[in-house]
Structure 1
Amino acid sequence: MTAAGGWPGNIYNVGERHERPRETDMTDKIGQPPAAQAHIPTDAELVRRARDIGPTLLARQAETEALTHYPEDVHEAFRAAGFYKMLMPKKYGGYECDAQTYFQVVREIARNCPSSGWMLSQSINHTLTVASFFSEAAQDEIFASGEFRAPLTAKPEGTAELQPDGGWKISGTFHYNSGAPYSTHMMSHAIPDRMPDGSKPTPMLFVAPRDSYTVLDDWGDVLGLKGSGSNSIRFDDAYIPPHYALPGHTFLSLDPKVAIGRRIHGNAMYAGSTLSFYLLGGANVSTGTARGAVDGYEELLLTKQLPNPPFSRRSEDVDYQRWFGTASGQISTAEAACDAYARQWMDLSERVAWRREEDLRLSGIAREIVNSLCWPAVQTVIRTCGSSTIRNGQRMERVWRDFTQLYSHGWQLLFDVAARDLARERTGAALTDADWSPTFVEGTSGVAQHAA
């Protein structure tokens, strides 16, 4: 039985409690062939579905934090809405939806539950990396079930031992895997014990299927995004085949101009930069979170009185009106910037026009969305909302924690390094051997040996 609009009915049972899946319960139904694609929803339909589910996510934020990930019936509702298929190639039952639409959907989810927005986006963002840079043989196996949900961690952890057949044995614990509880795969980096070509070992990007790792029950002891399912993942001598790894490359270092995804799928979306897409993902969730803060502030304007004469509603006070209008304008600007960013990302991909400078320029836009628009807006509404509205469990208290967690994310390092490197690209200043650059190396690809 489903509710009106095709939603699973129990998604609206706000008071219903759900047991947290343990390690042995976290394996999804994987390996089944994708169902026939009877209908691909329009962009408008996908955004509407995200808006429809928003009030439920808002009402269940405390439950999501207690579970440390969104509940299983929310996961099933996201699946029924088609959110997990948005970036999946049509060849495997996906939608190949427009990048701008994808970001708008995620933004609506984050608006009502930042933890759920972050977990959803980090579960499916990296579909593009596999569809763009991994061989068609690898994609046929990885996308065989018709769904792909894979957290990706940037820091190399654990060990990767080269095997006689060219495959790899992975061991170790990998941290901050947002989306791990409902993952079908995971992606990360490791330093190999030796390289296939005998060169000096450098980081290797790999993807691993769900049956090769254990999701640890260790998330939640953080300030914010407590419900983002950012669990650690452990490998114990897990084998992955040669075509599931790209030795010598990170997910940021692959040149989009040599991506094979465009040839395989006939869609320029699978020939774009990973750095700027990843950073837009974070800026987009930040924008949705900040919009949720402004929503909460508007509700307070309509329901709370001034603490001093004439004790009228806050909505009638010129100062509160100005504070609201300023914060709302900042977030409207951030939303417009996210949408324009997504369009520029697609335009560069369609024109095969990616250069390091363009990647770094877009990264600067993401930086300003987070630091110059969203952060000041959230500070304004928290500074003026009143201490009685930020008690434990209240909306404004939770959004303050969640945005602070976002603001302290490791992308701040990427923002600053990208700003430095943009100046170097523009002025011709050379990188030294000791410098690390976050964007791709032009003219190189880790898929050449797997492209057949």
Structure 2
Amino acid sequence: MSSDFSVYALPDEHRAVREAVRAICTDKVAPAAASVDEEARYPQEAHDALLAADFYAPHVPEEYGGAGADALATVIVIEEVARADASASLIPAVNKLGSLPIQLGGSEELKQKYLGALARGEGGFSYCLSEPDAGSDAANQKTRAVRDGDDWVLNGVKRWISNAGVSEYYTVLATTDPEKGSRGGISAFVVEKSDEGVSFGAPEKKLGIKGSPTCEVYLDNVRIPGDRIIGAEGEGFEIAMRTLDHTRITIAAQAVGIAQGALDYALGYAKEREQFGKPIADFQGLQFLLADMGMRVEAARQLTYAAAARSERHEDDVTFFGASAKCFASDVAMQVTTDAVQVLGGYGYTREYPVERMMRDAKITQIYEGTNQVQRIVAARQLLAGVQSDL
């Protein structure tokens, strides 16, 4: 029996993507990361650099003017940006989250119009699912969409919307038939920032990812054309859940990048910091800590890449792998960044060093796009249903 071990090697084209993104991040993203966090401002430097290099929304297919990056390449882009600045990594990540419903269920006209606009950098794309009473209970949609002639009229409030106010376009989930609920009663729509009746709340004051604005989105009698529905009426919740199966993998990638950035800094510090006459990296106790950090990061990366491959192929087990990768990688990010602070000791607890920021940024990866408690429920249900592949 012969074996092709190249299956475990990253293809050359993906290595090239990593090198290109890393160079951009070293030059443009990382130098601004501390000020972006300190000032809680949108990372415009990263935005401009990623857009110029076609990494702003790399997932958009070539036929709509995009780079046509596959799921693994997109994961690598997000991972590398997060390694430098987690806030900046939400630019390509949120653009995929917001626009993927159109790719999965939108009409050709919607794809041409909005994916093309996204690829050209005419505006980012946000995802409006969560509401004040619809967090983990995502089916509990209070936002309503009512037919009026050929149009739809939307009313409601969306909460915890990443890049709200910056993005030009929004995928909005709304109830169209209250009696059916999630089984055919929820639909998805494209809302534009410029639509009359759209407004935004003040940015949330957050623990981390301060450079990515998180706001409420208010829909007050927002009238949109009938052709802005994504898919058929009543298909919205299914499209939303399918979207999350794929985009949870991008959060896993973000978590891997944050963890890798923290590990990189901790390793460099341990080699330079001396105590008792020698570098602290020479002490076995610290070596054990660093070894565990490295093993966890690599395990999370491998699971994330495996999930990305399944996403690209639309495998039946992508729900299990998406939930598992997101859950495992985000737990790793929290553990590794906390350990990185420990490696630096008192210095790690100050804002003069980036691991403090990385630890704060890591926490959200355990929460958004479904808490890790929800991810474990999803993964368990998939296992019990016998969906998990053995390859």
- TM-score, normalisation: structure 2: 0.81
- 1:194–1:201 CA contact under 8 A, matched in 2: no
Q: Distance in 2 between matches of 1:191 and 1:62?
A: 41
Name the amino acid aligned to 2:25.
G
Q: Distance in 1 between matches of 2:204 and 2:182?
A: 40
In the TM superposition, 1:281-300 aligns within 5 A as: 281-300=250-269
- Cα offset for 1:190? 2.0
- Cα offset for 1:69? 4.2
Match of 1:50 in 2: 21
RMSD of the alignment, in Å?
Answer: 3.0
Q: Distance in 1 between matches of 2:156 and 2:352?
A: 36
Match of 2:108 in 1: 136
Q: Distance in 2 between matches of 1:58 and 1:200?
A: 45
Q: Distance in 1 between matches of 2:366 and 2:360?
A: 10
The superposition leaves residues 279-333 of structure 1 with CA deviations (integer Å, 9 ceiling, x where unpaired) of 1111111111111111121122123222xxx232212222222221221121122
Q: 1:243 to 1:358 in 2, by over 3 A?
A: same
Match of 1:123 in 2: 95
Aligned length: 358
Match of 2:155 among 171, 175, 189: 171
Q: 1:211 to 1:281 in 2, by over 3 A?
A: same
Q: 1:105 to 1:143 in 2, by over 3 A?
A: closer
- 1:120–1:179 CA contact under 8 A, matched in 2: no
Match of 1:370 among 318, 330, 344: 330
Tell me, yes or no, if structure 1 residue 314 matches structure 2 residue 280: yes
Q: 1:215 to 1:103 in 2, by over 3 A?
A: farther
- Cα offset for 1:240? 1.8
Match of 2:82 among 100, 110, 135: 110
| Partner SS for 1:83 | coil
Q: Distance in 2 between matches of 1:88 and 1:170?
A: 27
The superposition leaves residues 26-85 of structure 1 with CA deviations (integer Å, 9 ceiling, x where unpaired) of xxxxxxxxxxxxxxxx65554333201223422212321245343333312111011134
- Cα offset for 1:103? 0.5
In the TM superposition, 1:150-169 aligns within 5 A as: 150-156=125-131, 159-169=143-153
Match of 2:193 in 1: 210
415-424 vs 94-103, which moves further: 415-424
Q: Distance in 2 between matches of 1:405 and 1:198?
A: 29
Tell me, yes or no, if structure 1 residue 419 matches structure 2 residue 379: yes
Identity of aligned residues (%): 18
Q: 1:408 to 1:52 in 2, by over 3 A?
A: same
Tell me, yes or no, if structure 1 residue 249 matches structure 2 residue 248: no
- Cα offset for 1:361? 4.6
Match of 1:233 among 194, 197, 217: 217
Tell me, yes or no, if structure 1 residue 389 matches structure 2 residue 364: no
- 1:69–1:181 CA contact under 8 A, matched in 2: no
Match of 2:35 in 1: 63
Q: Distance in 1 between matches of 2:295 and 2:67?
A: 33
- Cα offset for 1:401? 1.0
- Cα offset for 1:215? 5.6
The superposition leaves residues 362-411 of structure 1 with CA deviations (integer Å, 9 ceiling, x where unpaired) of 4224322333x433333332334312321135312111111123223333
Q: 1:144 to 1:329 in 2, by over 3 A?
A: closer
Q: Distance in 2 between matches of 1:46 and 1:361?
A: 23
Q: Which runs of 4+ in 1 moved over 4 A?
A: 42-45, 197-201
- Cα offset for 1:239? 1.5
Q: 1:366 to 1:124 in 2, by over 3 A?
A: closer
- 1:162–1:194 CA contact under 8 A, matched in 2: no
Q: Distance in 1 between matches of 2:243 and 2:303?
A: 18
- TM-score, normalisation: structure 1: 0.71
Q: 1:73 to 1:275 in 2, by over 3 A?
A: closer
Q: 1:198 to 1:359 in 2, by over 3 A?
A: closer
- 1:123–1:178 CA contact under 8 A, matched in 2: no
Q: 1:167 to 1:214 in 2, by over 3 A?
A: closer
Tell me, yes or no, if structure 1 residue 92 matches structure 2 residue 99: no
Name the amino acid aligned to 1:221.
K
Q: Distance in 2 between matches of 1:151 and 1:401?
A: 23
Name the amino acid aligned to 2:101.
T
Match of 1:278 in 2: 247
- Cα offset for 1:158? 5.8
Q: Distance in 1 between matches of 2:115 and 2:330?
A: 33
In the TM superposition, 1:299-378 aligns within 5 A as: 299-306=268-275, 310-347=276-313, 349=314, 353-354=315-316, 358-371=318-331, 373-378=332-337
Match of 2:3 in 1: none
